[in-house]
Chain A
Amino acid sequence: MIEFKEVSYQYGERRPPVLERLSLRIPDGQYVVIIGPNGCGKTTLSKHLNALLIPSRGEVSVDGLNTRDPSGHRELRRRVGMVFQNPDHQIVGMTVAEDIAFGLENLAVPPGEIAIRVRDALARVEMAGCEQRAPFTLSGGEKRLVSLAGVLVMNPRWLVLDEPTAYLDAAGRRLVLAMIASLHREGMGIVHITHDLGEAADAERILVLERGRVIMDGPPGDVCAFLMSETQWEIEAPAMAALMAKLRRSGWDVPVNVISLEAAHREIHDYLVKIAGRGASS
């Protein structure tokens, strides 16, 4: 379980706090999306998860490991895999294989085992056979997958992804989102940071962050309805929810708390079947 207890963080004593008395609990294996406008503290929050930042006040613990205890940092970083926003700033190896091996080398895993695990991790992100490629020859999507493989190879219990679809085209975005959903199905806890609520379709829970505070915490449908009902929030509601709201204003009896295309299709289909049935009976 991940636990934040009254966490505040500021980058300098004279600067305003980025996180303010933030408390939250994420149970094992949960898929949480953290959403909010630029500068609301999303990345700062994520960096607390594997002790890259230590709270100015309050406590953060992951699976019982308090981030204030440096002796637990190595284990903490094995448990919490972190994929940064820009893969160019994360890939450290001169070849794909070396980059993926980096984490295992830090954990002092025997060389023979490293080679096997690197191969498996690459196969897991559908990049088998790319071991000897140089990072700068990879496309944006491939770099993202390599940085994901570099984290997965450490067998983490939690995966923290900071805007994992940034710099990706539509196909790359779909691939990465599908991969995150699949990892969650395997039982991995996911903390997914994004600007785009449309990416939260597979999440179990959404936290809306604004100025370092959680302003909404709930299942995707509820958060979507909340954002549709209030116009002062800086976060844009997903396109599907906006479409459903327009249909609703036109007199269609459909819910607005819809994020994914599949769910929108299902709701519209059900509504059309319902009115078609009504027309036939009258």
Chain B
Amino acid sequence: MSNMLSPVSAPGPSPLRNVDPRVKIVATVVLSILIFQAGPGQIVLLSLFLALLIVFSGGGIRELGRILKPIAFFSVLLFFLHALFTPGREVFSLPILPAVTYEGLVQGGTVAWQFAALVVTGGLLTLTTLPSELVAALDKILRPLQVFRVPTQDLTVMVAMALRFAPTFLEEYQRMKTARLARGGGIPGERLSRKLQTSGRLAIALILSALRRAEDLAAAMEARGYARGPRTSMRELCLNRGDYAAVAILASFTGLFFACRLFM
């Protein structure tokens, strides 16, 4: 289970893998904005660009499927909700349900695509970047905010800790669940009210354990000299020619996207 949800992916070699994580984070933000700005005309352009990025990430159709699988149901649901409940020109009608409209189909298709495209964009970032690189990049990106006394160092460490301890908490949750099973809980056919009650207890136990762990962790970090003040990082990020090329490609694509919006 922890392996499945491991935050420490081991991205294989690919052109996108080699791009500086800061550039990838900025690109993810820019692409997310473009996805929300896209009308039906720009969807094709953005889809092509995302397909190209998938190829450059070293992932294929299988990887795309893996990213999209968890959200497939919600995408389909979004599509149908819009198709059925958006007023407009009727295309066909179904028994009991409201009529499917042309505007509804277009809007449903756009929203479902936006949802899927956002997930693919985020997936590309995590697929080609180690969590530690993401944290290092976040640290660099947020650093200017220190001028406004924003504790960026603490924020970055919090993100790092959250990523680090996600698999540990999953392991702990599994342990608690197994302990419950070993004592006769979770028998098939259990009533819903009982199931909810037990889940609540599990959640409280997990939260208490997380709090204890957080306290121990804070002591361990302090013992190793963690405090506000000057720090360095083992992972020094520096932009190279490839990164500048990636920025140029992103800027050109953004220009092309808005040009399309103006003229299409």
Contact = CB atoms under 8 A, between A and B. Distances in A.
B132 A98 contact: yes
Nearest to A77: B225
B224 A134 contact: no
A206 interface: no
B233 A105 contact: yes
B42 interface: no
A281 B228 CA distance: 76
Contacts of B7: 94
Nearest to B230: A108
Interface in B128-181: 130-132, 135, 160-161, 163-164, 167-168, 171
Given A95-B132, A154-B225, A111 B167 contact: no
Interface stretch (B108-116, B189-197, B213-221, B256-264): B213-221
Interface in A65-91: 73-74, 77-78, 82, 84, 86, 88-91
A115 B225 contact: no
A92 B234 contact: no
A97 interface: yes
A84 B216 contact: yes
Contact of B224 (A77, A89, A95, A135): A77
A259 interface: no
Main secondary structure of the interface of A (DSSP, over half): helix
B8 A105 contact: no
Interface residues of A, number: 41
Contacts, number: 104
A272 interface: no
A103 interface: yes
A61 B163 CA distance: 37
B168 A88 contact: yes
A89 B233 contact: no
B8 A150 contact: no
Nearest to B223: A82
Contacts of A74: 225, 227, 229
A103 B132 contact: no
Interface residues of B, number: 36
Contact of A89 (B171, B216, B229): B216
A111 B223 contact: no
Given A94-B164, A135-B164, A111 B232 contact: yes
A217 to B, nearest CB: 26
B241 to A, nearest CB: 21
A197 interface: no
A136 interface: yes
B252 to A, nearest CB: 33
A250 interface: no
B28 interface: no
A90 B220 contact: yes
Contacts of A108: 229-232
B254 interface: no
B242 to A, nearest CB: 21
Contacts of A273: none
A111 B132 CA distance: 15
A127 to B, nearest CB: 17
| Most A C-beta atoms less than 10 A away, residue of B7, B131, B222 | B222
A104 B161 contact: no
Contact of B8 (A90, A103, A134, A154): A134
Nearest to A75: B225
Given A74-B227, A115-B234, A84 B171 contact: no
A105 B227 contact: no
A73 to B, nearest CB: 7
A118 B232 CA distance: 14
Contacts of B232: 104-105, 108-111, 114
A106 B223 contact: no
Contacts of B222: 52, 77
B32 interface: no
Contact of B225 (A91, A94, A106): A106
A60 interface: no
Interface string A148-175: 0011001000000000000000000000
B221 A92 contact: yes
B213 A89 contact: yes
Given A77-B223, A106-B225, A136-B167, A118 B234 contact: yes
Given A52-B223, A78-B225, A134 B231 contact: no
Nearest to A106: B225
B227 A92 contact: no
B132 A151 contact: no
8 tightest A-B CB contacts, nearest first: A106-B225, A89-B216, A101-B234, A134-B8, A103-B224, A90-B220, A82-B223, A77-B225
11 contacts: A73-B227, A86-B216, A94-B163, A95-B8, A105-B231, A106-B224, A106-B227, A111-B233, A111-B235, A136-B2, A136-B6
Interface of A: 47, 50, 52, 73-74, 77-78, 82, 84, 86, 88-95, 97-98, 101-111, 114-115, 118, 132, 134-136, 150-151, 154
